[in-house]
C-alpha cells in the first residue's frame, strides 16, 4: 500500500508540475497604450484581468493624440485605448489595427472642479465673471477632454475672452495635477478623476452632456497584438460584466 500510495503521489506531483508548465506557456504579456483619463480604472481592470487570466499588463498612459503619434512611429503596443473614437478609426483606416476589433469601451463625462470648497454656486456665472487667475484644461489638439472643454467654453461664449487665463496640460492627467496642486483655481477634468480623488470634496459641476460632443472612448487591437493571446484576452475582458461594472464604478457610461 505504501508503494502504491507513493506512486500515486508522484504521479499527482508530475501532473501538477506539468499543469504549471502549461500555464506558464500560455500566460503572456499585453502592452497597452491608454488614454490618461482612464488611468485609475485601467489599473483596477488590469489587477482583475491578471488575477483571472494569469496574463500580465504593461500599460503606458498619455494623451490620445500623443499615443496615436507613437503608434504611427512604431511604438510596441498591442492594444490602443483612446479617449475618442477618431484616432482608433484612423488606425483601422490606415490598416494598423485588426478590423472589427474596434468598439466603445467607455463614454466619458466632463466636469469642472476645484479642490477648494464653495468656489462657485453657479458654474456658468463663475466662468462668466472670470474672477479666477487660472483655469486648467487639457490641450484640445491632443486630448479629447481638452477638446470637450473648448466646446463648452465656445458654447458659453468664453473661449476667446479666457485665453489669457487658460493653462493647458499635455494630457488630462497633467491638467488634473494643475488643479489638485492649486496652481489653477479650477479646471475641466474627467469626472472619473474627481471620483478617484481622496482629498477634500471641493466644488464640482457636472457639465451637461449637451454642452460637448460625446466622449466615446474606443479601443482597437493593433496588428502587433493580433497573434498575442494576452492581447486578444484583454479585448474580450473589456466586454465582460466584471469589466463593465468596474468601468461604471469609475464614473463612465457604457453601451452595455
| Mean local confidence (pLDDT), 144-163 | 97
Mean pLDDT over all residues of the chain?
90
For residue range 55-91, list pLDDT tens digits in order.
999 999 999 999 999 999 999 999 999 999 999 999 9
135-138, strands of its sheet edge to edge: 166-169, 135-138, 186-190, 110-114, 203-206
Q: Do the Cβ atoms of 197 and 119 come closer than 8 Å?
A: no
pLDDT of residue 241: 97
Q: Residue 37's closest CA among 207, 251, 254, 255? A: 251
Does residue 232 surpass a pLDDT of 60? yes
pLDDT of residue 171: 92
How far is the C-alpha of 32 from the C-alpha of 188, rounded, in Å? 26
pLDDT of residue 161: 97
DSSP result, 102-163: -EEEEEE-EEEEESSTTS-SSHHHHHHHT-SS-EEEE-TTT-HHHHHHHHHHHHTT-TTTTG
Locate cell 501532473: which residue? 15
Does residue 9 surpass a pLDDT of 70? no
State the pTM of this model. 0.82
pLDDT of residue 115: 96
pLDDT of residue 24: 43
pLDDT of residue 27: 82
Does residue 123 surpass a pLDDT of 60? yes
Q: Do the Cβ atoms of 153 and 162 come closer than 8 Å?
A: yes
| Mean local confidence (pLDDT), 187-212 | 94
Minimum mean pLDDT among 8-22, 133-147, 180-194: which range? 8-22
Does residue 25 surpass a pLDDT of 80? no
Does residue 17 surpass a pLDDT of 50? no
Angle between helices 144-155 and 172-180 (to 10 degrees): 70
| Mean local confidence (pLDDT), 100-111 | 97
pLDDT of residue 94: 96
DSSP result, 169-189: ESSHHHHHHHHHTTSSSEEEE
How far is the C-alpha of 138 from the C-alpha of 19, rounded, in Å? 49
- What are the chain's domains? 27-107+214-249 (3.40.190.10), 109-211 (3.40.190.10)
Amino acid at each position: 500500500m505504501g508503494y502504491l500510495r507513493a506512486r500515486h503521489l508522484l504521479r499527482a506531483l508530475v501532473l501538477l508540475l506539468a499543469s504549471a508548465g502549461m500555464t506558464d506557456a500560455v500566460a503572456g504579456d499585453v502592452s497597452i497604450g491608454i488614454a490618461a483619463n482612464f488611468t485609475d480604472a485601467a489599473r483596477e481592470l488590469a489587477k482583475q484581468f491578471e488575477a483571472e487570466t494569469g496574463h500580465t499588463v504593461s500599460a503606458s498612459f498619455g494623451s490620445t493624440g500623443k499615443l496615436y503619434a507613437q503608434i504611427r512611429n512604431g511604438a510596441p503596443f498591442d492594444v490602443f485605448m483612446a479617449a475618442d473614437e477618431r484616432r482608433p478609426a484612423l488606425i483601422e483606416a490606415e490598416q494598423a489595427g485588426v478590423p472589427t476589433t474596434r468598439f466603445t469601451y467607455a463614454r466619458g463625462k466632463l466636469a469642472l472642479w476645484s479642490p477648494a470648497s464653495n468656489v462657485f454656486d453657479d458654474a456658468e456665472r463663475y466662468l462668466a465673471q472670470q474672477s479666477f487667475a487660472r483655469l486648467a484644461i487639457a490641450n484640445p489638439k491632443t486630448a479629447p477632454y481638452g477638446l470637450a472643454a473648448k466646446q463648452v467654453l465656445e458654447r458659453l461664449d468664453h473661449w476667446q475672452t479666457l485665453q489669457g487665463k487658460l493653462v493647458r496640460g499635455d494630457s488630462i492627467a497633467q491638467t488634473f495635477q494643475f488643479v489638485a496642486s492649486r496652481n489653477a483655481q479650477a479646471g475641466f477634468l474627467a469626472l472619473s478623476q474627481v471620483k478617484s480623488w481622496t482629498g477634500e470634496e471641493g466644488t464640482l459641476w457636472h457639465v451637461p452632456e449637451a454642452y460637448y460632443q460625446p466622449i466615446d472612448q474606443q479601443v482597437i487591437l493593433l496588428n502587433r497584438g493580433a497573434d498575442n493571446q494576452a492581447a486578444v484576452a484583454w479585448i474580450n475582458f473589456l466586454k465582460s460584466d466584471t469589466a463593465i461594472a468596474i468601468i461604471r464604478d469609475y464614473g463612465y457610461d457604457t453601451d452595455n
